[in-house]
Structure 1
Amino acid sequence: MHPDYLIVGAGFAGSVCARVLAEAGKAVLLVDKRRHIGGNAYDERDAHGVLIHPYGPHIFHTNSKKVFEYLSRFTAWRFYEHRVLAQVGAQLLPIPINRTTINQLYGLNLSEDEVPSYLEKVRQPRESLQTSEDVVLNSVGLDLCDKFFRGYTKKQWGLELSQLSAGVAARIPTRSNDDDRYFSDSFQFMPAEGYTAMFERMLDHPGIAVRTSCDFKDIRDQHPRAHIIYTGPIDAYFDHCYGALPYRSLSFAHEHLADTAQFQAVGTVNFPNEHAYTRITEFKHLTGQQHVGTSIVREYPQAEGDPYYPVPRPENEALFKRYQALAEAAQGVTFVGRLAQYRYYNMDQIVATALTAAQGLLETQP
């Protein structure tokens, strides 16, 4: 085929762009170096028949009706509100921190009305919130910071709280009530048949050709007239000419427990302190699947490996800006997604960005 668009990466960014463009009558070639579609959201049944997320848990949540309705074209949904507990000492406590967390941790009996005044007493006010440490201390004070955030951040990012931009910690709210949902978005659902099935439907269009186990570098010269939509790491596209942008990676230890119907009380348990791993997720909570056994995954953050998270620090943002200038000057290529835009996007944000990017291309390249 002679595609109008060559899209690199079959995750949310690439797949959404592919569908929008194909429905507008464009010929699309979508390639991914992995053996499968779906990017990090790919799911599959393990050897025991349990639907798992090989690249760690992906929980869909959004406040965007537009994004939810768009994805609803390709999947039915299962209502699911994610809940997370954090192990602090011998206790398992709700995170984000809420009234229950504070009362159980300190043996108190605060009412909802009393929690804000308690936090006001323990918080360490910061005039300027420049780092994640500023955000956390300004919100909950030193002890809660040390118990829930400091160690977890060190493991997750390989950095101290004081070395991370404020936006990382700002993602996690503090509540004065007993709301123990991890997210508070209007739409909280999981694809009823899994993410991979949703991606398969999204890419099932005569205008889309999909090639997996295909490296962009091996075919980019075969389609010189195609406009490229690139969703991989932006520094890799430019051969790391300014040096490598820092990304945080993960390794996953999957385990099946044949004689255990339920391993833990909630979908995810965080381990902010003593353990080498950051969290354990039990997939049956997420999917609602019935099975005599259960499958879990432990996550171990690491510096090397596939890029998962852009590392939000001012010096990294400055380096990204240099690559961004190259991207804006480049002809015939559009950069979309978490790695291509070096942004800590959630899935719904990536979908929204991809919809906007694809529509923009159709308006400028009719």
Structure 2
Amino acid sequence: MFDYLIVGAGLAGCTLAERLANERGAQVLLVEKRSHIAGNAYDCYDDKGVLIHRYGAHLFHTNDRDVFLYLSRFTDWHHYLHRVLTWVDGQLLPFPINLDTLNQLYSLSLTADTMREFLNSRREQREAVNSEDVIVSQVGRELYEKFFDRYTRKQWGIPASDLEPEVCARIPVRFNRDGRYFADTYQGIPKQGYTRMVERMIDHPKIKLMLNTDFAEIKDVIPFRRLIFTGPIDEYFGYALGRLPYRSLRFEFEQVHQEYFQPACVVNYPNEFDFTRIIEIKHATGQRCPVTTIVREYPAGEGEPYYPVPARKNRERYEQYAQAAAQLSDVYFVGRLGQYRYLNMDQVVREALNLYERLGP
């Protein structure tokens, strides 16, 4: 009899397994349908010896000191400040939009004050009902179309006008030359990778791990007292209230026989290309080797669920599932798929730690 059956060996599931085993002495069974731990943060070495992020770039950043200190128990950090470039009008431009972006794009010499005047002359007065409103009210229609419109349509499969405002509201406009993508206090990459960090988290005699295992196949066979589910909440309920939409990704890896392929870890392509971005993770990991590996990301409507689609109608359907979940005894949902929320890695860990505190003895 296990005290807890945890479905999903990503950051949420492994954080809870670690806390429950180490702090409460609980017997935990951790079940994962994939062949590896660490969820979408999984990293590994390819056949050229390049450390790759198998499911897209995972760049840790947080202002949550407790989360940072918690994960630091299991890893040292490679300090890395993430920078993104965007291919617009035949140029690689800093993104999010800042002073350098506009000066380079328009061959101007704006200052912080004149940048405000420049954008004030272009932006539209709008109530921020959706993500298009957020951007157009900040930078105007032309910059919205150059940097956001097509990228958003590719990424989410719907226009920004159908997305909740917080999707694009997370992307700032900077009236200085700060080229960092994130402004968080703590930023970096686990020195030996995410997979090694997670291995250390669940290295405990009271945690049993089963890979390549479907929860549906063992739920009526293995006895347990409490269930923590980090998979899609609609899947748990057999889609009884309808399917929740998710966006998936297809990854196209390419090995390049040169030290670096591009000048930044991530280059966005908000234009006619089918892919949304090219990632060269070597910039983030700090690995030194004579070859490199890049990956092009192609958004898809079908496949492994990566992103809940943050639209109003989807949120309303999720709330129906959340109400059904609240009626269950000793069953808990957590994580990006379990809570149907676009959560960053630090937020996933925070949600898991918060759930741990609520579980009681």
The residue identity in structure 2 corresponding to 1:270 is: N
Partner of 1:168: 167
The residue identity in structure 2 corresponding to 1:193 is: Q
The superposition leaves residues 111-145 of structure 1 with CA deviations (integer Å, 9 ceiling, x where unpaired) of 1222122211111111x211000000011100100
Matches within 5 A, 1:289-304: 289-304=287-302
Aligned counterparts of 1:163 and 1:112: Cα–Cα separation in 2: 32
Instruction: Check the 8 A contact 1:156/1:278 in 2, yes or no.
Output: yes
105-114 or 233-242, which moves further after superposition? 105-114
Partner of 1:105: 105
The residue identity in structure 2 corresponding to 1:359 is: E
Aligned counterparts of 1:59 and 1:158: Cα–Cα separation in 2: 24
SS in 1 for 2:198: helix
Is 1:33 aligned to residue 6 of structure 2? no
The residue identity in structure 1 corresponding to 2:263 is: A
Aligned counterparts of 1:315 and 1:274: Cα–Cα separation in 2: 29
Instruction: Check the 8 A contact 2:5/2:224 in 1, yes or no.
Output: no
Is 1:189 aligned to residue 183 of structure 2? no
The residue identity in structure 1 corresponding to 2:179 is: D
Aligned counterparts of 1:231 and 1:81: Cα–Cα separation in 2: 29
TM-score, scaled to structure 2: 0.99
SS in 1 for 2:155: helix
Q: Which runs of 4+ in 1 moved over 4 A?
A: none
Partner of 2:303: 305
Partner of 1:78: 78
Is 1:57 aligned to residue 57 of structure 2? yes
Aligned CA-pair RMSD: 0.8
Instruction: Check the 8 A contact 2:2/2:223 in 1, yes or no.
Output: no
The residue identity in structure 2 corresponding to 1:122 is: R
Matches within 5 A, 1:6-17: 6-17=5-16
The residue identity in structure 2 corresponding to 1:205 is: H
Matches within 5 A, 1:1-366: 2-23=1-22, 24-126=24-126, 128-257=127-256, 259-361=257-359, 363=360, 366=361
Aligned counterparts of 2:152 and 2:30: Cα–Cα separation in 1: 36
Aligned counterparts of 1:100 and 1:226: Cα–Cα separation in 2: 57
SS in 1 for 2:220: helix
SS in 2 for 1:4: strand
Instruction: Check the 8 A contact 2:123/2:140 in 1, yes or no.
Output: yes
The superposition leaves residues 8-62 of structure 1 with CA deviations (integer Å, 9 ceiling, x where unpaired) of 0000100000001001111100010000000000000001110001111100000
For structure 2, the residue ranges without an aligned partner over 5 or more in a row are none
Aligned counterparts of 2:310 and 2:280: Cα–Cα separation in 1: 28
Aligned counterparts of 2:336 and 2:102: Cα–Cα separation in 1: 34
For structure 1, the residue ranges without an aligned partner over 5 or more in a row are none
105-114 or 288-297, which moves further after superposition? 105-114
Aligned counterparts of 1:248 and 1:226: Cα–Cα separation in 2: 33
The residue identity in structure 2 corresponding to 1:30 is: L
Instruction: Check the 8 A contact 2:162/2:311 in 1, yes or no.
Output: yes
Identity of aligned residues (%): 53
SS in 1 for 2:144: helix
SS in 2 for 1:113: helix
- Deviation, structure 1 residue 223: 3.3
- Deviation, structure 1 residue 191: 0.2
TM-score, scaled to structure 1: 0.97
Aligned counterparts of 2:113 and 2:190: Cα–Cα separation in 1: 37
